[in-house]
Amino acid sequence: MAVKVDTKHLIVTCFAFWACAFPVMSRTLNEDSVAATHEQWMAKYGRTYADEVEKAKRLKIFKENLLYIENFNNAGNRSYMLGLNKFSDLTNEEFLAFYTGSFNVSGQTNPSKMASFQELDISDIPDSVNWRDKGAVTQIRNQENCGSCWAFATVAAVEGIYQIKTGNLIQLSEQQLLDCDTQNNGCLGGLMDYGYEYIIQNNGIASREDYSYLGNSTGNCDSEKAAKHAAQITDYAVVTGEDQLLQAVAKQPVAVRVAVGDAFSMYGEGIFSGPCGSRLNHEVTAVGYGTSEDGTKYWLMKNSWNEDWGEKGYIRMQMNVGNEGLCGIAAHGSFPIINA
């Protein structure tokens, strides 16, 4: 299928790169080897092009991405590795247009929603937390060609606190947020805070089974499906800074915003340490934190780019990188609240 770029979508962002599908070996790039690798990649992902002109264009982009990956991996002394993935024939601009989707909302945080935390006492915080192991995280999902990362981050955080409070892990509906949340813009981007506000105003959110994901915004809210409440929340709170984020993630999954770029999109495995994008343009869910064997502290993030991106759909990001965190990950986080 030919790849088309709609430039009007370049103003919003929820960026996808599905993980290391091919090992990138240290070798000299030449036209024959690149072309052969591209053919193998096309076969793996079922990619076809409209004509030879389009194929030549995509091959050129593929080669540029492959060269970037090899140069990065061959530089050595890296805490993580890059790799080819499903979208290795797209430019960075195309990814930013179609696979990111977080609003630019600097300065718009509701002061009444700022979380109240006592001064951080490290002795009260566990050394590591993994909400997957605690049964509060559903399987990795795929936002597809839609800037709906905000909906996936919102839903993952709500799924987490609902399981913690009730013991029941339920897959909730991102599609309901795309169709019914009028403060956000569906596949054209959004913010998790507004997603929480919609769920509160609607007195709940449906299950994914009842309101299934389509990978696009329908423009119509199915009120009958939206009324089938599988989970409810009563409030939400905003955190800023790594200390507050640490306190929050120790208690539940937290939706966060992050600035992604080329390196993030091509992430394969290891502890990501940058470089980052230029602005907060993607939303993921912090589902834990820990320390690697070499002593590096990291955040564990659930993404929405399917299981063949990163570490089976997850990324570990270096912790303790300034107050706002690596790639701005602690600049704006928020979590849902369920009062007894």
Reduced to 3 states, what is the DSSP secondary structure of residue 238? strand
Reduced to 3 states, what is the DSSP secondary structure of residue 187? coil
149 is catalytic: yes
Q: Which of 282, 306, 327, 332 is catalytic?
A: 282
Which helix (H) or strand (E) segment holds residue 254: the answer is: strand 254-258
Q: Cβ neighbours of residue 187 under 8 Å, at least 6 residues apart? A: 101, 146, 147, 148, 178, 216, 217
Give CA–CA dist 313/87, Å, rounded.
Answer: 15
Q: Which of 65, 85, 202, 303 is catalytic?
A: 303
Question: Sign of dihedral through CA atoms 316, 68, 86, 36?
Answer: negative
Question: Residue 314 pairs with which residues in a beta bridge?
Answer: 302, 311
282 is catalytic: yes
Q: Which of 14, 146, 149, 187 is catalytic?
A: 149
Give CA–CA dist 221/223, Å, rounded.
Answer: 6
Instruction: Confirm if 215 and 145 have CB atoms less than 8 A apart.
Output: yes
Catalytic machinery residues: 149, 282, 303
